[in-house]
Chains A and B, each alone.
With several copies, the nearest count.
Chain A
Amino acid sequence: MRFLPDAEQTAFGRNLDRMFAAADTPSAVRAWARGEHGPGRELWARVAGAGVFGLAVPEAHGGSGLLPVELGVAFVELGRHAAPGPLVETVAAAVLLGRFAGDGLAGAWLPRICTGQVMASLAMPCGGPYALDADAADAVLVVSGDPADDLHLARDCDPVQASLDPARRLARPRDGELLATGPGVREAACCAADWAAFATAAQALGVGLALLDRTVGYARQRTQFGVPIGSFQAVKHRLADVLIGLEFARPLLHGAAVALAGRAPEASAEVAAAKVAACEAAYAAARTALQVHGAVGYTAEYDLSLWIGKARALRGAWGTPAECRAKVLHK
């Protein structure tokens, strides 16, 4: 058993971390929130260049084969830096299309997803009616019907709506060209949903880690009543609880990655467990971060806000806590 990231995987994460740190990611996020996609698109190209999207694409289509462990490592960093855009949706779209390998669709889209040329968004019944960042995406895929057997390329979308995470903008897509239909779509969509939930869980873990880091740093230096507020037991204990939540979400995420890699029948349940644990830990981190920072944490101009809203949004995205818990028990 080797239930730890290996040196290469660790280095991959570290390199992504450095890349984002050097790229003034917060500015790109703020621009994205204003609907200015240029800086975010540059970041997207670098994410693609690092091979992140290829981790969800078969080798035949320019990817590295489906590598959930590495994908998880990457999405923790994407979350840690609050990277903008339909990252999860593009990965899920890649998985969905990858299941149609052989017919023309995969060949048409997947190579361009790998290179970052195509930023895809995706709406499926299990993820709600909205497509994330539909205004920025090059393609919005829609799975619909009852049963959900139809795969459409959305013709267009309703206007994007702001969300509680200013960097996440939601739009209701309208069905367009029918790309494929049949039970194969449904099966592929189920698989894609697992990958979406998994990537969201990893992203949430990264969000939580960033919130904890920043809050610990703040609590060390912010002084009230003549002492650093981090010396108050109430602050200490809340932050300790945040660390516990995140540290015990991490192995579930790794377990889900292993299950996805092995196409294990219990992968859905493992992903659901990781999703609820990581998202609840991240949301608790956000609440604590806000409370420990006080008013400054409540302001949009302070970078902390980039993660606070995201923690709330990811909690509901691609599987609510209740849906995940049901999946864990009914597997």
Chain B
Amino acid sequence: MDLDFTPQEQAFRADARAWLADHVPCRPLTSLETRQGFAEHRAWERTLCDGGWSAVSWPREYGGRGASLLEWLVFEEEYYAAGAPFRVSQNGIHLLAPTLLEHGTEEQRARILPAMASGETVWAQAWSEPEAGSDLASLRSAAVRTEGGWLLSGVKTWSSRAAFADRAFGLFRSHPGAARPHQGLTYAMFPLDADGVTVRPIGRLDGKPAFAELFLDGVFVPDADVIGEPGRGWQTAMSTAGSERGLTLRSPGRLAAAAGRLAALWRTAADPDDTALRDRVADAVIRARAYRLYGYAQACAGRLAAGAEASLTKVFWSELDLAVHETALDLLGPDGELAEGAWPDGYVFALAGPIYAGTNEIQRDIIAERLLGLPKGRRG
């Protein structure tokens, strides 16, 4: 057993570090949940893409650099350690792209992925509906067959990034007579400025429009913008869901950087004899280290925790992220109440972690039923 990187991996790390040192903006960008910040982050995606670092794990033909899982983990470590901006293209790169790579057509991949990598097209997810949150399979938005495509109608909500994004992807009920709620759904992509789309931005706790409600009224989607087989959208989407919850959405590198910043803050701002704070900081460092090593083990096993195992990861990183930020606010004392700054911004962001991508309650049900083999309860 070892933790050694190959010369190639070391070179990859050195390249990433050098490029980031040259290109990461010295001042933090404006919050990406604002119009101006969104534009700044989009421009940063362009810069990343020009350097070839926007989607390192994709094949080169789509704008990636064919990095291995381990290299991707290394990149994420370097990226967040360098204090680089959060990724406005995250939803596309980590949720939509894996689905396209697995289920999309060659035409779709060639058309969609390079524009996603460059930030030219920023994607929003459109899963939830007012009556379908945790119980996603109960969604009602409809896709009605029309010539050469589908007409989408209904309401989607909690659509992250949709206030300023270009396009969205989601599931729609196309075959309403299906025997089970998970059947008869179609996975479709659509522009947010299309005819029939109304975008109502929604402010998160601090008022920043981090998501939006989407009203769809006969929005035309050509067949070319359906992923996988119509009516089998749930199966198509599940690979995306596993990817969302697993390591990719919040990488070990991202959490390690957060815990590292916390430890640095503790060293400079805290009373070193305050063991209560010390214990919380140490736990954050330990858990971030655990997550990093867990990622290596997954990469060595040739898989990034998918399926039910992704649920373990989701609960772990979302609780760790919140603990890191709660500890930081406590460390900051009276300044911890102020709204502006990376820590409070990250705190508000982290508060949503146990909710999105499937609530942690749902994840624990999945862990208990699928990994531990406990009998299914009433859910579902």
- Residue ranges of A at the interface with B (Cβ–Cβ < 8 Å): 1-6, 9, 69, 127-130, 161-166, 168, 170, 212, 216, 219-220, 223-237, 239-241, 243-244, 247-252, 254-255, 257-258, 261, 273, 276-277, 290-291, 294-295, 298-301, 305, 308-309, 312-313, 316-317, 320-322, 324-326, 328-329
CA distance A226 to B205 in the complex (A): 28
> Which of chain A's residues have a CB closer than 8 A to the CB of B206?
162, 164, 166, 300
User: With an 8 A cutoff between CB atoms, is B17 at the interface?
Assistant: no
B295 CB to nearest A CB, Å: 8
The answer to whether B285 and A225 touch across the interface, beta carbons within 8 angstroms, is no
| Contact pick for B3, options A1, A219, A231, A300, CB 8 Å | A1
Give me the 9 closest cross-chain CB pairs, A-B, nearest first. A128-B334, A251-B293, A236-B368, A325-B282, A300-B203, A240-B367, A224-B135, A230-B374, A162-B339
Determine the distance from Cα of A123 to Cα of B124 in the docked complex, in whole angstroms. 45
Cβ of B299: which chain A residues have Cβ within 8 Å of it? 1, 3
- CB contacts (< 8 Å) of A295 on chain B: these are 128, 133, 157-158, 211, 352, 355-356
Instruction: Assess whether A161 is in contact with B3, with CB atoms less than 8 Å apart.
Output: no
Q: Chain A residues near B359: list those with CB within 8 A.
A: 291, 294
Partner of A236, one of B294, B316, B365: B365
Closest to A256 in B: B293
Q: Are A227 and B378 in contact (CB under 8 A)?
A: yes
Per-residue CB proximity of B132-160 to A under 8 Å, as 1/0?
Answer: 01110010000000000000000001100
Is the CB of B328 closer than 8 A to any CB of chain A?
no
Give chain A nearest CB distance to B239 CB in angstroms.
Answer: 22
A232 CB contact (under 8 Å) in B336, B338, B361: B361
- A252 pairs with B337, CB closer than 8 A: no
Closest Cβ of chain A to B70, distance in Å, is: 6
Binding site for A on B (CB under 8 A): 1-6, 9, 70, 128, 131, 133-135, 138, 157-158, 202-207, 211, 263, 266, 274-279, 281-283, 285-287, 289-291, 293-294, 296-297, 299-301, 312, 315-316, 329-330, 333-334, 336-340, 344, 347-348, 351-352, 354-356, 359-361, 363-365, 367-369, 371-380
Among B278, B290, B378, the residue within 8 A (CB) of A329 is: B278
Residues in B neighbouring A254, C-beta threshold 8 A: 1, 293, 297
Tell me if B339 and A161 are in contact (CB < 8 A).
yes
A-B contact pairs, 10 of them (CB 8 A): A163-B339, A224-B135, A240-B363, A243-B367, A243-B371, A243-B372, A247-B294, A251-B296, A276-B283, A290-B351
Nearest B residue to A329, CB-CB:
B282
Q: A248-B291, A298-B355 are in contact. Are A3 and B2 (CB under 8 A)?
A: yes
The reply to whether A6 and B355 contact each other, CB–CB distance below 8 Å, is no
- Residues of the A chain whose Cβ atoms lie less than 8 Å from the Cβ of B355: 290-291, 294-295, 298
Q: How far is the CA of A223 from the CA of B379 in the complex (A)?
A: 12
Asked whether A322 lies within 8 Å of B274 as measured between CB atoms, the reply is yes
Identify the closest chain A residue to B128 (Cβ): A295
Chain A residue numbers with a CB within 8 Å of B285 are: 273, 328-329
Chain A nearest Cβ from B234, distance in angstroms: 15
Closest CB of chain B to A283's CB: distance in Å? 9
Closest CB of chain A to B266's CB: distance in Å? 8
Q: Smallest CB–CB gap between A149 and chain B, Å?
A: 21
Contact A225 B380 (CB under 8 A): yes
CA distance A223 to B133 in the complex (A): 10
The answer on a CB contact under 8 Å between A329 and B263 is yes
Q: Are B315 and A244 in contact (CB under 8 A)?
A: yes
Q: Given contacts A295-B157, A300-B206, are A273 and B286 in contact (CB under 8 A)?
A: yes
The docked-state distance in angstroms from the alpha carbon of A223 to that of B297 is 38
Are B334 and A316 interface neighbours, CB within 8 A?
yes
For B266, what are the chain A residues with a Cβ–Cβ distance below 8 Å?
329
Q: Is the CB of A2 within 8 A of B2?
A: yes
Report B-chain residues with C-beta under 8 Å of the C-beta of A255.
3, 289, 293
A312 to B339 Cα, complex, angstroms: 12
Which single residue of chain A is at the shortest CB-CB distance from B287?
A: A248
Contact of B337 among A164, A216, A233, A273 (CB under 8 A): A164
Question: Cβ of A241 and Cβ of B364 under 8 Å apart?
Answer: yes
With CB as the reference atom, state the residue of chain A lying closest to B336. A316
**A243 lies within 8 A of B312 (CB):** yes
Contact, CB under 8 Å: B373 / A244: no
A223 to B138, CA, bound (A): 11
Taking a contact as CB atoms closer than 8 A, the residue among B2, B354, B369 that contacts A291 in the complex is B354
B380 touches A1 (CB 8 A): no
Rounded to whole Å, the gap between the CB of B185 and the closest CB of chain A is 17
A173 to chain B, nearest CB (A): 13
B276 touches A322 (CB 8 A): yes
> With the chains together, A166 CA to B208 CA distance in Å?
12
Q: In the complex, what residues of B have CB within 8 A of residue A2's CB? A: 1-2, 300
The reply to whether B1 and A163 contact each other, CB–CB distance below 8 Å, is: no
Contact partner of B379 (CB less than 8 A), chosen from A9, A232, A291, A329, is A232
Q: Smallest CB–CB gap between B284 and chain A, Å?
A: 10
